[in-house]
Chain A
Amino acid sequence: MFLAWNEIKKNKLRFTLIIGVLMLVSYLVFFLSGLATGLASLNREAVDKWDATAIVLNVESDKSLPQSSITTDELNTIKGKETAVLGQLNAIATSGELKQNISLFGINPDEFIMPEVTEGDVFTNENEVIASDTLQDDGFKIGDELALSSTEEKLTIVGFTDSARFNAAPVLYGELSTFQKVKFGEGSEENKDQINGIVIRGDDVESITTSNDDLEVIEAETFIENLPGYTEQSLTLNFMIYFLFAISSVIVAIFLYVLTVQKISMFGVMKAQGISNGYLSRSVVAQTFLLAVIGVVVGFGLTLLTGAFLPSAVPVAFDIPTMIIYGLVLIVVAILGAVFSVLTIVKIDPLKAIGG
């Protein structure tokens, strides 16, 4: 640390530049991770809110909730701790000038997927809904009447709830009968046992079974991964993040290597004096560690700062534990970049350096 720190103090500009590069790389990594988290929750936050173990869908639906069609009778074939029925459909909701893709959830208010309202009231009558608070950001208000694309029925917003987006669409929660009226119109009476799936809480997914071969128990995470576009999106972003790790390792390696090569004769003189390879190598690693920590911490702060000023339409969400892990990975990766320099130091011949 002694050599490392004194060198940084003496060559502030040079090391500020390196820290700057590390900061920008970590900024990019953190921001992409924020984007990945944000885009992921855009798809999954409503499902996460259920805190469910699994969902039972029709086998033929290929793990797609809108495509699945079952009846409430199937509850008898299912073993699981706690169940909640779910009807779901996608539609376009219009209120005056405002227009938005939505996902309508039909539920039983006494079952566990019933959301808590953050504003307004819960639904008590048919055609009343609790809406995702992202609709509030779009300008929808309590009392607004929503016309839906597929039906004559009109829904009224009575309250808002948070974390309520499913596959990128804000969710409207209403009575099962509201959902059936929207979906079947005139025929809603005959179809009052029609739902899309049954959401189940249990100790683990193995403990949840169904005796009906036409049904399939899907673990919550698997269900999310099969949402259209979800896996493709998160893979793309994660790939970018992993590439950035590799790139930052290479950048640090090149920077440190150039610095080390410039100092070969100085290292040689110290080695001639009897200062060990171990001491000099530790000093380079300690220096890298210092630079990386400073760069990552500044990048972290800058990311949060940027996040605070971004318009809400940008889907960034910062998951601090993930960011801490990425920050640590960046530091480790930077230290890996120092390995080349350590090898260079070990190979320096003190005799050449002092040039007899």
Chain B
Amino acid sequence: MAIIELNKAKKTFGSGHKQVDAMKETDFTAEKGELIAIIGPSGSGKSTFLTIAGGLQSPSSGEIIINDQNLSNMNEKSRSKVRLKEIGFILQASNLVPFLTVDNQMKLLDNVKKDNMTKKELDKLYEDLGISDLRKKYPADLSGGERQRVAIAKALYSKPSIILADEPTASLDSERAYEVMELLKKETKSNDTTTIVVTHDIRLIDYCDKVYKMTDGILKLQEKQESEELKTS
């Protein structure tokens, strides 16, 4: 079953002379348990795609359906509710609240949403991510890699159906980047979530089930052998 669906979704910025087609008309679907990579050069429209898919902005035309909810005719308040319930964001820069400890980052979600992970599930998640010892620490006391792993924990904690990650490994060295991808893959499979990772690091696509390439606002599925070529080139 498709958990997220984009039908003829298109995003245009500006008008007339200065018009930019950030994302041309796009059809896209993703299933449960899939780990999908979106690659492409800077400015090609990857973030635009991701934020539209996550209900952070509306498409200029076309529709977005997340877990059977059509976002097209929703206002920001309703979209915000869908985001809270269905989506976990992992961003390039840390998206942690500076004055909350790791544990309290999770507790904040308990304050605004029901049906998050149980204590046991969270313990296991911390274990998996190797951050069990960091519970009482503040973001400022963590290394970049640790922060990114906490951000992943936070995205997973609310048990979202979709995880959207925009260059989650950009601030990490390649070893850490591989670790993070490994973890995302593991969590995607064990929780049956759908994870879409935007990256321009071609070496990370090995971890993914499908690879899309974005070029000048056009999203195109890569065949396995095509992506192999991409890597070696």
Contact A275 to B84, CB < 8 A, known contacts A2-B108, A351-B56, A356-B50? yes
Assess whether A3 is in contact with B108, with CB atoms less than 8 Å apart.
yes
- Check A350 for interface membership: any CB of B closer than 8 A: yes
* Chain A interface SS verdict (over half): helix
Please give me the residue from chain B that is nearest to A10 by CB atom.
B99
| Cα A11 to Cα B98 with chains together (Å) | 10
Assess whether A354 is in contact with B91, with CB atoms less than 8 Å apart.
yes
CB distance from A199 to the nearest CB of B (A): 63
- Check A279 for interface membership: any CB of B closer than 8 A: yes
- Give the most central of A274, A277, A356: most B CB within 10 Å: A274
Assess whether A271 is in contact with B51, with CB atoms less than 8 Å apart.
no
Assess whether A6 is in contact with B56, with CB atoms less than 8 Å apart.
no
Please give me the residue from chain B that is nearest to A268 by CB atom.
B95
Which residues of A are found within 8 Å of B57, using beta-carbon distances?
351
Query: What 1/0 flags go to B76-115 for Cβ under 8 Å of A?
Result: 0100111111010101010101111000100110011100
- Check B138 for interface membership: any CB of A closer than 8 A: yes
Which residues of B are found within 8 Å of A277, using beta-carbon distances?
77
Which residues of A are found within 8 Å of B112, using beta-carbon distances?
274-276, 279
CB distance from B38 to the nearest CB of A (A): 12
- Check B166 for interface membership: any CB of A closer than 8 A: yes
Please give me the residue from chain A that is nearest to B96 by CB atom.
A269
- Check B195 for interface membership: any CB of A closer than 8 A: no
Assess whether A273 is in contact with B166, with CB atoms less than 8 Å apart.
no
Assess whether B87 is in contact with A274, with CB atoms less than 8 Å apart.
yes
| Cα A274 to Cα B86 with chains together (Å) | 9
| Cα A237 to Cα B57 with chains together (Å) | 54
CB distance from B231 to the nearest CB of A (A): 25
Assess whether A270 is in contact with B89, with CB atoms less than 8 Å apart.
no
Which residues of B are found within 8 Å of A350, using beta-carbon distances?
56
Query: What 1/0 flags go to A272-294 for Cβ under 8 Å of B?
Result: 11111101000000000000000
Please give me the residue from chain B that is nearest to A266 by CB atom.
B97
Which residues of A are found within 8 Å of B113, using beta-carbon distances?
274
- Check B48 for interface membership: any CB of A closer than 8 A: yes
Assess whether A269 is in contact with B84, with CB atoms less than 8 Å apart.
no
Please give me the residue from chain B that is nearest to A263 by CB atom.
B98
CB distance from B97 to the nearest CB of A (A): 6
| Cα A275 to Cα B113 with chains together (Å) | 9
- Give the most central of A272, A276, A277: most B CB within 10 Å: A272
- Check B116 for interface membership: any CB of A closer than 8 A: no
Please, how many residues of chain B have a CB less than 8 angstroms from a CB on the other chain? 31
Assess whether A10 is in contact with B138, with CB atoms less than 8 Å apart.
yes
- Check B47 for interface membership: any CB of A closer than 8 A: yes
- Check A7 for interface membership: any CB of B closer than 8 A: yes
Assess whether B107 is in contact with A354, with CB atoms less than 8 Å apart.
no
Assess whether A356 is in contact with B166, with CB atoms less than 8 Å apart.
yes
Within 8 A of B (CB), among A1-52: 2-3, 6-7, 9-11
Select which of B80, B85, B87, B107 is within 8 A of A271 by beta carbon: B80
Which residues of B are found within 8 Å of A9, using beta-carbon distances?
99
| Cα A354 to Cα B165 with chains together (Å) | 12
Which residues of B are found within 8 Å of A11, using beta-carbon distances?
99
Which residues of A are found within 8 Å of B108, using beta-carbon distances?
2-3, 270, 275
Contact A356 to B51, CB < 8 A, known contacts A2-B107, A2-B108, A6-B100? yes
Assess whether B98 is in contact with A356, with CB atoms less than 8 Å apart.
no
CB distance from B20 to the nearest CB of A (A): 14
Contact A274 to B82, CB < 8 A, known contacts A350-B56, A354-B89? yes
Select which of A3, A6, A274, A355 is within 8 A of B85 by beta carbon: A274
Which residues of A are found within 8 Å of B50, using beta-carbon distances?
356
Which residues of A are found within 8 Å of B89, using beta-carbon distances?
272-273, 354
Residues of A within 8 A of B (CB): 2-3, 6-7, 9-11, 266, 269-277, 279, 350-351, 354-356
Known pairs A2-B107, A266-B98 / 5 extra A-B pairs, C-beta < 8 Å = A3-B108, A7-B99, A270-B97, A275-B108, A356-B50
Complex A-B: 25 CB contacts under 8 Å: A2-B107, A3-B100, A10-B98, A269-B95, A269-B97, A272-B54, A272-B56, A272-B95, A273-B89, A273-B95, A274-B85, A274-B87, A274-B112, A274-B113, A275-B80, A275-B108, A276-B81, A277-B77, A279-B111, A279-B112, A350-B56, A354-B89, A355-B93, A356-B47, A356-B166
